[in-house]
Amino acid sequence: MRGAGFAVDVAADLPEADEARFVNSYDCAVFDRMLPSGDALRYVEGLRRSGWLVPVLFLTARDGLADRVDGLEWGDDYLAKPFAMGELIMRVRSLCRRSETAAPPVLRWHDIELDTGSHQVRRGGTLLTLTAKEFTVLERLMAAAGKVVPRGDLIAAGWDEVVPPTANVLEVVVGQLRRKLGPPPVVDTVRGVGYRLIPPG
Protein backbone atom coordinates (compact mmCIF):
# COMPACT_ATOMS: atom_id res chain seq x y z
CA MET A 1 0.00 0.00 0.00
CA ARG A 2 2.85 2.40 0.78
CA GLY A 3 4.39 1.56 -2.59
CA ALA A 4 1.13 2.70 -4.21
CA GLY A 5 1.48 6.12 -2.55
CA PHE A 6 -0.69 5.69 0.54
CA ALA A 7 0.32 6.87 4.00
CA VAL A 8 -0.37 3.81 6.16
CA ASP A 9 -0.70 3.16 9.88
CA VAL A 10 -0.76 -0.48 10.98
CA ALA A 11 -2.61 -1.74 14.07
CA ALA A 12 -2.22 -5.32 15.27
CA ASP A 13 -5.52 -5.41 17.16
CA LEU A 14 -8.65 -3.39 17.95
CA PRO A 15 -7.24 -1.52 20.98
CA GLU A 16 -4.34 -0.31 18.81
CA ALA A 17 -6.83 0.69 16.09
CA ASP A 18 -8.88 2.58 18.66
CA GLU A 19 -5.82 4.48 19.88
CA ALA A 20 -4.78 5.38 16.33
CA ARG A 21 -8.30 6.52 15.48
CA PHE A 22 -8.39 8.91 18.45
CA VAL A 23 -5.03 10.46 17.55
CA ASN A 24 -5.27 10.61 13.73
CA SER A 25 -7.83 11.20 11.01
CA TYR A 26 -8.10 8.77 8.09
CA ASP A 27 -9.53 8.73 4.58
CA CYS A 28 -10.12 4.96 4.70
CA ALA A 29 -9.73 2.03 7.10
CA VAL A 30 -9.05 -1.62 6.17
CA PHE A 31 -10.03 -4.24 8.76
CA ASP A 32 -9.47 -7.97 8.91
CA ARG A 33 -12.58 -9.58 10.38
CA MET A 34 -11.28 -12.03 12.97
CA LEU A 35 -8.67 -10.58 15.32
CA PRO A 36 -7.32 -11.79 18.68
CA SER A 37 -9.23 -8.94 20.34
CA GLY A 38 -12.56 -9.67 18.63
CA ASP A 39 -14.56 -9.34 15.43
CA ALA A 40 -13.74 -6.06 13.67
CA LEU A 41 -17.23 -5.97 12.21
CA ARG A 42 -18.78 -5.55 15.68
CA TYR A 43 -16.16 -2.87 16.43
CA VAL A 44 -17.05 -0.94 13.27
CA GLU A 45 -20.76 -1.35 14.03
CA GLY A 46 -20.22 0.43 17.35
CA LEU A 47 -18.30 3.23 15.65
CA ARG A 48 -21.00 3.67 13.02
CA ARG A 49 -23.69 3.96 15.69
CA SER A 50 -21.67 6.79 17.30
CA GLY A 51 -21.42 8.72 14.02
CA TRP A 52 -18.03 7.62 12.64
CA LEU A 53 -18.15 7.93 8.83
CA VAL A 54 -14.67 6.93 7.65
CA PRO A 55 -15.06 4.49 4.70
CA VAL A 56 -14.25 0.91 5.73
CA LEU A 57 -13.12 -2.09 3.68
CA PHE A 58 -13.27 -5.53 5.30
CA LEU A 59 -10.48 -7.82 4.09
CA THR A 60 -11.16 -11.36 5.24
CA ALA A 61 -11.20 -15.06 4.50
CA ARG A 62 -14.89 -15.18 5.52
CA ASP A 63 -16.52 -15.15 2.10
CA GLY A 64 -19.96 -16.61 2.78
CA LEU A 65 -23.03 -14.70 1.59
CA ALA A 66 -24.14 -13.90 5.15
CA ASP A 67 -20.64 -12.63 5.98
CA ARG A 68 -20.62 -10.34 2.94
CA VAL A 69 -24.09 -9.03 3.74
CA ASP A 70 -23.08 -8.25 7.33
CA GLY A 71 -19.87 -6.62 6.17
CA LEU A 72 -21.61 -4.36 3.67
CA GLU A 73 -24.22 -3.36 6.26
CA TRP A 74 -21.59 -1.68 8.47
CA GLY A 75 -18.70 -1.29 6.03
CA ASP A 76 -18.42 0.17 2.54
CA ASP A 77 -16.62 -2.64 0.72
CA TYR A 78 -15.76 -6.31 1.30
CA LEU A 79 -12.85 -8.18 -0.29
CA ALA A 80 -12.35 -11.89 0.31
CA LYS A 81 -8.98 -13.64 0.51
CA PRO A 82 -7.11 -14.56 -1.60
CA PHE A 83 -7.12 -11.25 -3.47
CA ALA A 84 -5.03 -9.40 -6.05
CA MET A 85 -3.05 -6.50 -4.62
CA GLY A 86 -4.00 -4.32 -7.57
CA GLU A 87 -7.69 -4.80 -6.79
CA LEU A 88 -7.20 -3.87 -3.15
CA ILE A 89 -5.31 -0.71 -4.15
CA MET A 90 -8.07 0.39 -6.54
CA ARG A 91 -10.81 -0.28 -4.01
CA VAL A 92 -9.01 1.67 -1.29
CA ARG A 93 -8.34 4.52 -3.70
CA SER A 94 -12.05 4.64 -4.55
CA LEU A 95 -13.02 4.73 -0.86
CA CYS A 96 -10.52 7.53 -0.19
CA ARG A 97 -12.13 9.60 -2.95
CA ARG A 98 -15.51 8.98 -1.37
CA SER A 99 -14.30 10.26 2.01
CA GLU A 100 -13.24 13.56 0.43
CA THR A 101 -16.87 14.38 -0.30
CA ALA A 102 -18.43 12.85 2.82
CA ALA A 103 -20.20 15.28 5.12
CA PRO A 104 -18.54 15.79 8.51
CA PRO A 105 -20.38 13.69 11.08
CA VAL A 106 -22.72 15.03 13.71
CA LEU A 107 -22.30 13.16 17.02
CA ARG A 108 -25.20 12.83 19.46
CA TRP A 109 -25.43 11.77 23.08
CA HIS A 110 -28.98 12.08 24.39
CA ASP A 111 -29.72 15.85 24.27
CA ILE A 112 -26.16 16.85 23.29
CA GLU A 113 -25.29 17.40 19.62
CA LEU A 114 -21.75 18.01 18.34
CA ASP A 115 -21.19 19.06 14.73
CA THR A 116 -17.60 18.21 13.76
CA GLY A 117 -17.81 20.29 10.58
CA SER A 118 -19.01 23.59 12.05
CA HIS A 119 -17.47 22.96 15.50
CA GLN A 120 -20.78 23.77 17.15
CA VAL A 121 -22.18 22.08 20.24
CA ARG A 122 -25.77 22.26 21.41
CA ARG A 123 -27.48 20.86 24.47
CA GLY A 124 -31.24 20.76 24.42
CA GLY A 125 -31.09 22.97 21.32
CA THR A 126 -29.06 25.68 23.09
CA LEU A 127 -25.77 26.65 21.43
CA LEU A 128 -22.78 26.37 23.78
CA THR A 129 -19.49 28.26 23.53
CA LEU A 130 -16.56 25.87 24.00
CA THR A 131 -12.84 26.37 23.73
CA ALA A 132 -10.90 24.25 21.23
CA LYS A 133 -9.67 21.91 23.97
CA GLU A 134 -13.14 21.57 25.51
CA PHE A 135 -14.52 20.73 22.07
CA THR A 136 -11.82 18.11 21.43
CA VAL A 137 -12.35 16.42 24.80
CA LEU A 138 -16.13 16.31 24.29
CA GLU A 139 -15.72 15.04 20.73
CA ARG A 140 -13.54 12.12 21.88
CA LEU A 141 -15.97 11.27 24.68
CA MET A 142 -18.97 11.35 22.34
CA ALA A 143 -17.17 9.25 19.71
CA ALA A 144 -16.56 6.61 22.40
CA ALA A 145 -20.34 6.43 23.01
CA GLY A 146 -20.20 5.75 26.75
CA LYS A 147 -16.96 3.77 26.83
CA VAL A 148 -14.12 4.95 29.04
CA VAL A 149 -11.58 7.15 27.24
CA PRO A 150 -8.17 6.95 28.95
CA ARG A 151 -6.74 10.18 30.32
CA GLY A 152 -3.66 9.81 28.11
CA ASP A 153 -5.77 9.55 24.95
CA LEU A 154 -7.62 12.77 25.77
CA ILE A 155 -4.36 14.61 26.44
CA ALA A 156 -2.80 13.30 23.22
CA ALA A 157 -5.83 14.52 21.25
CA GLY A 158 -6.04 17.98 22.81
CA TRP A 159 -2.46 19.01 23.57
CA ASP A 160 0.37 19.20 21.05
CA GLU A 161 2.86 20.04 23.76
CA VAL A 162 4.19 17.46 26.23
CA VAL A 163 2.01 17.38 29.35
CA PRO A 164 3.63 16.02 32.54
CA PRO A 165 1.69 13.07 34.05
CA THR A 166 1.15 15.05 37.26
CA ALA A 167 -0.32 18.11 35.52
CA ASN A 168 -4.04 18.74 36.04
CA VAL A 169 -4.68 20.52 32.72
CA LEU A 170 -7.17 17.86 31.62
CA GLU A 171 -9.02 18.00 34.92
CA VAL A 172 -9.35 21.78 34.57
CA VAL A 173 -10.75 21.48 31.03
CA VAL A 174 -13.19 18.72 32.07
CA GLY A 175 -14.36 20.90 34.98
CA GLN A 176 -15.01 23.81 32.62
CA LEU A 177 -16.78 21.49 30.18
CA ARG A 178 -19.06 20.16 32.91
CA ARG A 179 -20.06 23.69 33.90
CA LYS A 180 -20.83 24.67 30.33
CA LEU A 181 -22.85 21.51 29.64
CA GLY A 182 -24.89 22.21 32.78
CA PRO A 183 -27.25 19.82 34.58
CA PRO A 184 -27.97 17.00 34.61
CA PRO A 185 -24.29 15.90 34.54
CA VAL A 186 -23.10 13.56 31.79
CA VAL A 187 -19.28 13.48 32.18
CA ASP A 188 -18.24 10.78 34.64
CA THR A 189 -14.77 10.34 36.16
CA VAL A 190 -13.38 6.80 36.22
CA ARG A 191 -10.69 7.20 38.85
CA GLY A 192 -7.23 6.17 37.80
CA VAL A 193 -8.34 5.60 34.19
CA GLY A 194 -10.09 8.49 32.46
CA TYR A 195 -13.56 9.76 31.63
CA ARG A 196 -16.76 8.61 29.98
CA LEU A 197 -20.22 9.90 29.14
CA ILE A 198 -23.20 8.63 31.11
CA PRO A 199 -26.92 9.06 30.46
CA PRO A 200 -28.29 12.28 31.99
CA GLY A 201 -29.57 11.72 35.51
* 104 vs 110: which has the higher pLDDT: 110
State how far the Cα of 129 lies from the Cα of 165, in Å rounded to an integer: 28
Average pLDDT value for residue range 26-32: 91
CATH class of residue range 106-197: mainly alpha
Name the H helices within 144-193: 151-158, 169-181
pLDDT in tens, 3-19: 888 889 999 999 999 88
* 198 vs 53: which has the higher pLDDT: 198
Please give the single-letter amino acid code of residue 51.
Answer: G
Asked if pLDDT for residue 142 goes beyond 60, the answer is: yes
Are 35 and 11 in contact by the 8 Å Cβ rule? The answer is no
pTM, to two decimals: 0.52
Average pLDDT value for residue range 137-142: 92
Where does CATH 1.10.10.10 sit in the chain? 106-197
- Using DSSP, state whether 77 is helix, strand or coil: strand
State the sign of the Cα–Cα–Cα–Cα dihedral 110, 20, 81, 60: negative
Where does CATH 3.40.50.2300 sit in the chain? 2-101
The β-bridge relationship of strands 126-128 and 120-123 is antiparallel
CATH class of residue range 2-101: alpha beta
The β-bridge relationship of strands 29-31 and 56-60 is parallel
Asked if pLDDT for residue 148 goes beyond 70, the answer is: yes
pLDDT for res 31: 93
Neighbouring CB atoms inside 10 A of 14's CB total 18
